[in-house]
Chains A and B, each alone.
Chain A
Amino acid sequence: MKKCNTRTRVMIYIGFASVYLLGIFFWGLFMPESGYDVNYADKLLPPGSGHLFGTDFMGRDMLMRSVKGISVSLLTAALAAGISSVIALAFGVTAAVFGGRLDSFVNWCVDLFMGIPHLVLLILISFMLGRGAKGVTAAVAFTHWPELTRVVRAEVISVRSSQYVRAAYKMGKSRFSVAWGHVIPHVLPVYLVGVILLFPHAVMHEASITFLGFGLPAEEPAIGVILSESMKYIAMGKWWLMLFPGLMLLLAVMLFDIIGENLKRLWNPDSGNE
């Protein structure tokens, strides 16, 4: 077999990771509630043939609950990526294009949000919205823009001050055509990678804050809820309750990282000939 080049290999990685994540997402999204029904006859079964990940104290199948939980996290993360990336784009572009006072103001806002530990900010926002699913979703959605704003701003500034953009202006190109022809093609890949790399953070933050008890109610199969429930059973040696759901969470986070990093390699013109 011919050895694949980097490009092909990168595409294969991205392909597998996306298929897995989308699969989990839709599996969980369309899973009927009977998938993780209460069944006291089978409670606290260790992992085995009938239940691949074992069952919990109410006899619910841990595999199904984990899939559902990851799917809920992915939904929150998608929302966070959507909202935060729009904020980041608006702020980043405004700061870079208008400069001056506005630029300082945006930078100051970024510093302000980065000055509070992220988890504390999440707790404050979810507290403001009265906890529950709404609070957590909003908290995760509205706090992931500062890093991306910085990236977008830096990228726009570097393109804007480059020789060829100045040359394009001198040649009488309009602002719009420069933006369309030079700025967007440069900023878009960086921006999209940034959006993808936002997912792992959002997934992790959603799980963390739910774990602490701020998020979804205890009967919801969210990954944070599952793990915080499992805490009570650790001392009894029921290790599978936390091992498998955690591994699935870890895998989801890592796959997003892999997709993001590989896209970065694929789209970065400097690494094209590797």
Chain B
Amino acid sequence: MARMKYTGKTVLRMLTLFIAVSILSFLLLEASPVDPMTAYIGTDSTFSEEAKEEILRHWGLNEPPVKRFFKWAWNFVHGDWGESITYKKPVKTVIAERLKYSLALMFAAWSFSGILGYAMGILAAVRKGRLTDKLIKTFCLALQSAPTFWIGLLSLSLFAVHLGWFPIGLAAPMGKAAEEVTISDRIYHMILPAFTLSVLGIGKIALYTRQKFIEILNREFILYAKAKGESMGQIVMRHGIRNTLMPAVTVQFASFSELFGGIALAESVFSYPGIGSALTAAGLGGDVPLLLGIAVCSAAFVFAGNLTADILYLALEPRDGSFVH
């Protein structure tokens, strides 16, 4: 019962936060000195004053902001997310088209960093204090401090330009018609961006796993297991993973916010046509409807991650849930 109540409360809280995020984003964009009119028609247009007036009325730009926000929110809920100025297409179409590229990228990076980071964390914990541990720890700290876009540039320079193993950018071979692009083309073009994006998460998850694992290894039941003659491998498989896998997965779900920030950087390095490069283009081009749409989507994405982490945490908590206040 307590568990249900807690989940309900969390969902409600996230809903209010979500609404607040939309309002905040709207306010920030509203306060911008970038004139939507200029962004749309360019600075040296020959439009007459009447035509401009007509556009203003068409978009409802001469109405007060509060009214505009409600109008936007109403339309948003009803599926009309506005028209993107940069891409000359409905915002929803732009986001939908690009989201699949980005989701594939994020999923690949997310699982890769999770698996590799977790394995590295276990290895470091088992070898605590020895050379392997020190190497992994230093490596993870360096990864955590490395800017995503720089890792992108580095791998682009090394693997794509000098070694020529991977393409330099984009999501498909240049000059190939969209229907001819095969799934292997897509994967081939995704490897470097996904690798770049995963670097962001490896360090965090590895250091977290290491610490958790060391805690477990210091517990008394491990001493007992050792006394029974279990080998380190058996201890890891029977006790270590059981006790640390789910916390690690939870941490991984809670990292959606950084992941989303990461795609903006990774995609702009590799000119990958996902939602991150659309975000940058929208910001630079003064494309308010698209910017707003992406901001709201990103918040939804982060909330989904946090909610999953919360629910997982609760569902897997061995106690009955009455501890939740």
In the assembled complex, how far is the CB of residue B265 from the closest CB belonging to chain A, in whole angstroms?
Answer: 6
| Chain B residues in 8 Å Cβ range of A155 | none
Chain B residues contacting A237 (CB-CB under 8 Å) are: 161-162
Q: How large is the interface on B (under 10, 10 to 19, 20 to 34, 35 or more residues)?
A: 35 or more
**Pairwise interchain contact A204-B147, C-beta atoms closer than 8 A:** yes
| Interchain residue pairs with CB less than 8 A apart (10) | A112-B21, A117-B258, A118-B261, A120-B279, A127-B34, A127-B286, A130-B32, A204-B145, A207-B147, A243-B157
Given A237-B162, A257-B141, the answer on whether A211 and B149 have CB atoms closer than 8 Å is yes
Q: How far is the CA of A189 from the CA of B108 in the complex (A)?
A: 40
* Contact, CB under 8 Å: A208 / B149: yes
> CB distance B283 to A108 under 8 Å?
no
Interface-forming stretch among A24-32, A35-43, A165-173, A228-236? A228-236
Q: On chain A, which size bracket covers the interface? A: 35 or more
A125 on interface, CB distance cutoff 8 Å: yes
What residue of chain A has the Cβ atom nearest to residue B277's Cβ?
A: A212
Give CA–CA (A108, B145) in the complex, Å. Answer: 29
3 nearest A-B pairs in the assembled complex, by CB-CB distance: A119-B261, A246-B150, A253-B145
Cβ of B217 within 8 Å of any chain A Cβ, yes or no, is no
Q: A211-B265, A227-B149, A250-B150 are in contact. Are A117 and B142 (CB under 8 A)?
A: no
A35 to B297, CA, bound (A): 45
B25 within 8 A of A: yes
For B306, the chain A residues whose CB sits under 8 A away are 115
Number of A-B residue pairs at CB separation under 8 A: 145
Picked from B17, B150, B268, B299, the residue with its CB within 8 Å of the CB of A249 is B150
Judge whether B33 is part of the interface by a CB distance below 8 angstroms: yes
Contact with A along B130-159 (1 / 0, CB 8 A): 000000000001101111111001101100
Instruction: Decide if A46 is an interface residue (CB 8 Å cutoff).
Output: no
Instruction: State the CA gap A264–B253 with chains docked (Å).
Output: 28
* CB atoms of B161 and A128 under 8 A apart: no
Let me know if A127 and B145 touch, CB within 8 A: no
Q: Does A249 lie within 8 Å of B147, measured CB to CB?
A: yes
Are A124's CB and B28's CB within 8 A? yes
Q: Any chain B CB within 8 A of the CB of A83?
A: no
CB of A254 within 8 Å of the partner chain: yes
How far apart sit A211 and B306, CA to CA, in the bound complex (Å)? Answer: 28
Contact at A116–B302, with CB atoms within 8 Å? Answer: yes
Known: A117-B261, A127-B291. A250 touches B145 (CB 8 A): yes
In A128-184, which residues have CB < 8 Å from any B CB?
128-131
Chain A residues near B (Cβ < 8 Å)? 108, 111-112, 114-120, 123-131, 200, 204, 207-208, 211-214, 227, 230-231, 234-235, 237, 239, 242-243, 246, 249-250, 253-254, 257
Which has the most chain B C-beta neighbours within 10 Å: A108, A127, A231, A257? A127
| Cβ–Cβ contact A257 & B145, under 8 A | yes
Q: How far is the CA of A114 from the CA of B24 in the complex (A)?
A: 13
Q: How far does the alpha carbon of A116 sit from the alpha carbon of B302 in the complex, in Å? A: 7
The reply on B187 being an interface residue by CB < 8 A is no
Question: Are A227 and B17 in touch, CB under 8 angstroms?
Answer: no
A230 and B32 contacting across the interface, CB-CB below 8 Å? no
Please report which residues of chain B, range 273-317, place their CB below 8 angstroms from some CB of chain A when the two chains form the complex: 279-280, 283-284, 286, 291, 294-295, 298-299, 301-303, 306
* A120-B141 Cα distance, complex, nearest whole Å: 25
Residue B283 contacts which of A116, A117, A123 (CB distance < 8 angstroms)? A123
- Partner among A118, A130, A234, A250 whose Cβ is within 8 Å of the Cβ of B34: A130
A120 to nearest B CB, angstroms? 5
Give complex CA distance A51, B247 in Å. 50
8 Å CB interface, B38-53 against A = none
Question: What is the bound-complex CA distance between A227 and B264, given in angstroms?
Answer: 15
B260 adjacent to chain A (CB < 8 Å): yes
Complexed CA–CA distance, A115 and B149 (Å): 23
B144 nearest CB neighbor, chain A only? A257
Residue B29 at the chain A interface, CB threshold 8 Å? yes
- B156 to chain A: which residues have CB within 8 Å? 234
A108, A211, A253 pick with most chain B CB within 10 angstroms? A211
B77 touches A (CB below 8 Å): no
Complex contact A112–B17 (CB within 8 A): yes
B150/A119 in contact, CB under 8 A: no
| A126, A234, A246, most chain B CB atoms within 10 A | A234
Q: Are A117 and B260 in contact (CB under 8 A)?
A: yes
> Is B37 positioned at the interface, with any CB of A under 8 Å from its CB?
no
Partner of B280, one of A213, A242, A246: A213
Interface centre among B153, B162, B279, by most A CB within 10 Å?
A: B153
Are the C-beta atoms of A243 and B147 separated by less than 8 Å?
Answer: no
The listed residue (B25, B145, B154, B280) touching A116 by CB distance below 8 A is B25
